[in-house]
């Protein structure tokens, strides 16, 4: 049995690899192939397309990369046609995967979609593209009823990060490993996982660090995913930082979050990771002016960070687009560092978010059972 699996970014790679691991206990002879990141490759998924080639965000930014992305798209479609998988599991990245789903459905391949596109927040017209899916696996508790009410076969499986986000070392050992002083507050900078995000955010974060450093003794760590330095080059990180007192640590993001006093985090999956680890944070995000101008007509949510959306209230401060400035971010960070009551209130709010995301059984085991049931039904239909 062959199963196509595709993920287009770091978080999708993490979730898809975890689902593949769960599926192997039910389908030990299955062969997995598709669009992979490093975690999926470690889980034994054969690479047709490298997910790093799809890692672009922003309505305008993506335009320059369309020829390359379309070439990777055609590779996946051709591989599906040649290998005839019994099922396709598409993870997040809806701009790419909803188009891919249409092509795969035309080949008669059942589709399971992992990580629901956030149509409840923006681009609500996409709901029509989700209805033909065989199943949509949702990780946020409010999503199942939202999609089912609109004719999409959907199930809330729980958030996978609730079972896997953990630091690898106790705080004293991790600080000692990286020669980080224990007598100063630790501020972790999380600029994003995509090169475009990091390039936009890092200069502003360096200016923020300079402002904090002038007013408050602290140690600053820049945390990025594994492999970025070798892929992008050392100067990609050092040039925007300049002379700012920032220590770059790669591939240890959960430790860098868990052991920090405050995180400055790009709005996205990492804010959920910080919530699960209980670390106070401040969210930010910036895209190109044109992407922001076009996107604001499509967005319909009271908050931008997933932490606040899950909570249904402003648990963490958000500094988005023009609101993201070194002045604003540094003031908010110093306030959190110096106000113990504010930190306690935020930790209590983050604990509520973590509780809301928890599930009784492992989310990926839930997802694996849904997929196995779907395969059994497809097999029965083929026989009868």
131's tokens: 């209805």
For 2-158+359-383, CATH gives 3.40.50.2000
Residue 249's DSSP bridge partners are 223
CB atoms within 10 A of CB 221: 22
230's tokens: 């070798």
Q: For the domain made up of 171-357, give the CATH fold.
A: Rossmann fold (3.40.50)
Cβ contact 357:310 at 8 Å: yes
| Among 193, 239, 241, 204, residue whose Cα is nearest residue 329 | 204
Question: What CA–CA distance (Å, rounded) separates 213 from 295?
Answer: 34
Cβ contact 208:241 at 8 Å: no
Cβ contact 331:295 at 8 Å: no
Residue ranges covered by each domain of the chain: 2-158+359-383, 171-357
Per-residue pLDDT 10s for the chain (384 aa) are 999 999 988 889 999 999 999 999 999 999 999 999 999 999 999 999 998 877 644 444 455 556 778 888 999 999 999 999 999 999 988 988 999 999 999 999 999 999 998 887 777 888 999 999 999 999 998 899 999 999 999 999 999 999 999 999 999 999 999 999 999 999 999 998 888 888 899 999 999 999 999 999 999 999 998 888 877 887 788 887 877 899 999 999 999 999 999 999 998 889 999 999 999 999 999 876 666 666 665 566 667 788 998 888 999 999 998 899 999 999 999 999 999 999 999 999 999 999 999 888 999 999 999 999 999 988 777 655
171's tokens: 């705080």
Report which DSSP code applies to 45.
P
Query: What pTM was computed for the model?
Result: 0.80
Cβ contact 138:154 at 8 Å: yes
């Amino acid at each position: 049995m062959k199963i196509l699996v595709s993920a287009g970014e770091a978080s999708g790679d993490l979730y898809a690899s975890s689902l593949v691991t769960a599926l192997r206990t039910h389908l030990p002879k299955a062969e997995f192939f598709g669009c992979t990141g490093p975690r999926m490759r470690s889980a034994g998924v054969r690479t047709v397309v490298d997910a790093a080639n799809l890692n672009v965000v922003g309505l305008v930014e993506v335009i320059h990369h369309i020829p390359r992305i379309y070439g990777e798209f055609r590779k996946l479609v051709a591989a599906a046609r040649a290998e005839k998988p019994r099922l396709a599991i598409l993870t997040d990245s809806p701009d790419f995967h909803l188009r891919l789903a249409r092509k795969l459905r035309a080949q008669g391949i059942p589709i399971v979609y992992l990580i629901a596109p956030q149509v409840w927040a923006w681009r609500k017209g996409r709901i029509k593209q989700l209805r033909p899916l065989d199943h949509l696996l949702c990780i946020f508790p409010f999503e199942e009823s939202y999609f089912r009410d609109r004719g999409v076969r959907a199930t809330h499986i729980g958030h996978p990060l609730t079972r896997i986000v953990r630091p690898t070392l106790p705080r004293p050992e991790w600080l000692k490993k990286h020669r980080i002083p224990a007598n100063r507050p630790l501020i972790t900078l999380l600029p994003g996982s995509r090169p475009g995000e990091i390039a936009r955010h890092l200069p502003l974060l360096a200016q923020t660090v300079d402002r904090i450093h002038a007013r408050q003794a602290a140690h600053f760590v820049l945390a990025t995913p594994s492999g970025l330095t070798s892929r992008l080059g050392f100067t990609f990180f050092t040039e925007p930082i300049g002379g700012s007192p920032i220590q770059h640590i790669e591939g240890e993001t959960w430790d860098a979050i868990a052991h920090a006093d405050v995180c400055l985090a790009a709005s996205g999956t990492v804010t959920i990771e910080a919530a699960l680890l209980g670390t106070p944070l401040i969210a930010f995000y910036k895209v190109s002016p044109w992407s922001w101008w076009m996107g604001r007509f499509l967005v319909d949510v009271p908050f931008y960070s997933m932490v606040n959306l899950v909570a249904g209230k402003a648990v963490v401060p958000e500094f988005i687009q023009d609101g993201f400035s070194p002045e604003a971010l540094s003031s908010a960070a110093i306030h959190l560092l110096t106000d113990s009551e504010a930190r306690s209130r935020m930790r209590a709010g983050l604990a509520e978010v973590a509780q809301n995301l928890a599930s009784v059984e492992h989310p990926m085991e839930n997802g694996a059972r849904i997929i196995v049931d779907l395969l059994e039904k497809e097999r029965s239909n083929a026989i009868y």
